[in-house]
Amino acid sequence: MAEDFVDPVDLRIEARAGRRSPRRLLALCRRSTRLVREAAPRSFAASVILQVAAALLLAGQVWSVKLLLDAILAASDGGASVASLVWPVAVLAALTALTALTGSVQSYLSRYLGERVARSMWRHVLGAATAVPLRSFESSAFYDRLRRVQTNAVSRPYQVTRGILTTLGAAVSAVAVGATLVGIAPVLLPLLLLGGVPLLLTSRRESHLEFDFDVAQTPNQRLRAYLTHVLTDRDAAKEIRAFDLGEPLGHRMDDAYGTFLHDLGRHLRRRTLLSSVGTLGTALVLAATLGALVVLISRGELGVADAGAAVVAVRMLQGQIQSMFGGVQSVFESGLFLDDVEAFLRTGVAAGVESRGFPAPERFDRVDVDDVSFTYPGASTPALDGVSLGMTAGEVVAIVGENGSGKTTLAKVLAGLYEPDEGVVRWDGVDQAGMDRRSLRSRIAVIFQDFVRYALPASENISAGSEHDDARVRAAARATGADRALEGLPDGYATVLSRLFRGGRELSGGQWQRVALARAYYRDAPLVILDEPTSALDPRAEHDLFASLRDVLAGRTAVFISHRFSTVRSADRIFVMDAGRVVEAGDHDTLMALGGLYAELFTIQAAAYSEPTA
Ligand SMILES: Nc1ncnc2c1ncn2[C@@H]1O[C@H](COP(=O)(O)OP(=O)(O)OP(=O)(O)O)[C@@H](O)[C@H]1O
Give the mean model confidence (pLDDT) for residues 243-271.
94
For the segment 169-220, what is each residue's pLDDT rounded down to a tens digit? 888 878 877 887 787 778 777 877 787 788 778 887 888 888 889 889 999 9
Nearest CA owner, ligand 1 atom 31: 404
Provide the domain limits for residue 480.
451-524
* Least confident span in 264-273, 301-310, 443-452: 301-310
Give the mean model confidence (pLDDT) for residues 486-506.
92
Domain membership flag for residue 401:
yes
Q: Is the CB of 416 under 6 A from ligand 1?
A: no
How long is the chain?
A: 614
pLDDT at res. 329 = 77
Domain membership flag for residue 7:
no
Domain boundary among 334, 352, 370: 352
pLDDT at 338 over 90: no
The span from the CA of 188 to the CA of 598, in Å, is 93
pLDDT at res. 8 = 45
pLDDT at res. 133 = 82
Distance 347 CA to ligand 1 centre (A): 26
Distance 416 CA to ligand 1 centre (A): 17
pLDDT at res. 610 = 67
Distance 602 CA to ligand 1 centre (A): 22
Residues 478, 329 share a domain: no
126-130, 271-275, 387-391 — most confident range: 387-391
Residues 328, 472 share a domain: no
Nearest CA owner, ligand 1 atom 27: 403
356 vs 575 pLDDT, higher one? 575
Distance 579 CA to ligand 1 centre (A): 10
The span from the CA of 46 to the CA of 22, in Å, is 28
The amino acid that residue 100 corresponds to is A
User: What is the dihedral angle through the alpha carbons of 99, 104, 106, 108, rounded to the nearest 10 degrees?
Assistant: -170
* Least confident span in 23-27, 476-480, 504-508: 23-27
Give the mean model confidence (pLDDT) for residues 590-601.
93
Domain membership flag for residue 290:
yes
For residue 256, the domain's CATH number is 1.20.1560.10
Residues 467, 406 share a domain: no
pLDDT at 255 over 90: yes
For residue 414, the domain's CATH number is 3.40.50.300
Residues 469, 574 share a domain: no
pLDDT at res. 82 = 67
pLDDT at 54 over 50: yes
Distance 542 CA to ligand 1 centre (A): 25
Residues 235, 253 share a domain: yes
Q: Is the CB of 437 under 6 A from ligand 1?
A: no
Q: Is the CB of 401 under 6 A from ligand 1?
A: yes
Give the mean model confidence (pLDDT) for residues 521-547.
83
Residues 386, 258 share a domain: no
Pocket test for ligand 1, best of 405, 413, 562, 565 (most atoms within 8 A of CB): 405
| Confidence grade of residue 364 (pLDDT, cut at 50, 70, 90) | very high
Domain membership flag for residue 294:
yes
Residues 423, 534 share a domain: yes
**What are the strands of the beta sheet with 430-431, ordered from one edge?**
384-392, 366-374, 422-427, 430-431
Domain boundary among 491, 524, 557: 524
Residues 457, 435 share a domain: no
Helical segments of 355-405, H only: none
Domain membership flag for residue 154:
yes
Give the mean model confidence (pLDDT) for residues 26-35.
79
| Confidence grade of residue 9 (pLDDT, cut at 50, 70, 90) | very low
pLDDT at 132 over 70: yes
Mean residue pLDDT of the chain comes to 85
* Least confident span in 5-9, 394-398, 455-459, 542-546: 5-9
Residues 225, 129 share a domain: yes
Residues 439, 304 share a domain: no
Give the pTM: 0.77
| Confidence grade of residue 430 (pLDDT, cut at 50, 70, 90) | very high
> For residue 485, what are the CA distances in angstroms to 381, 448, 458, 507, 510?
44, 21, 10, 8, 10
Nearest CA owner, ligand 1 atom 18: 406
561 vs 168 pLDDT, higher one? 561
pLDDT at 539 over 90: no
**ipTM score for this prediction:** 0.97
Closest by CA to 399, choosing from 416, 413, 379, is: 413
Distance 403 CA to ligand 1 centre (A): 8
Three-state DSSP state, 398:
strand
Domain membership flag for residue 10:
no
Q: How many domains does the chain divide into?
A: 3
pLDDT at 554 over 80: no
* Least confident span in 135-149, 492-506, 581-595: 135-149
Domain membership flag for residue 16:
no
Q: Is the CB of 134 under 6 A from ligand 1?
A: no
pLDDT at res. 611 = 62
Give the mean model confidence (pLDDT) for residues 104-108.
90
336 vs 258 pLDDT, higher one? 258
The atom number, within ligand 1, closest to the CA of 402 reads 25
pLDDT at 506 over 60: yes
Residues 58, 137 share a domain: yes
* Least confident span in 134-138, 451-455, 480-484, 591-595: 134-138
The amino acid that residue 91 corresponds to is V
Distance 227 CA to ligand 1 centre (A): 25
pLDDT at res. 2 = 35
Domain boundary among 475, 505, 524: 524
6 vs 151 pLDDT, higher one? 151
Closest by CA to 374, choosing from 337, 422, 327, is: 422
Give the mean model confidence (pLDDT) for residues 343-365.
77
Question: Where does residue 213 rank: exposed (0-12), middle (13-18), buried (19+ CB within 10 A)?
Answer: middle
Domain membership flag for residue 4:
no
Residues 236, 142 share a domain: yes
Per residue, the 3-state secondary structure of 494-546, as one string, reads HCECCCCCCCCCCCCHHHHHHHHHHHHHHCCCCEEEEECCCCCCCHHHHHHHH
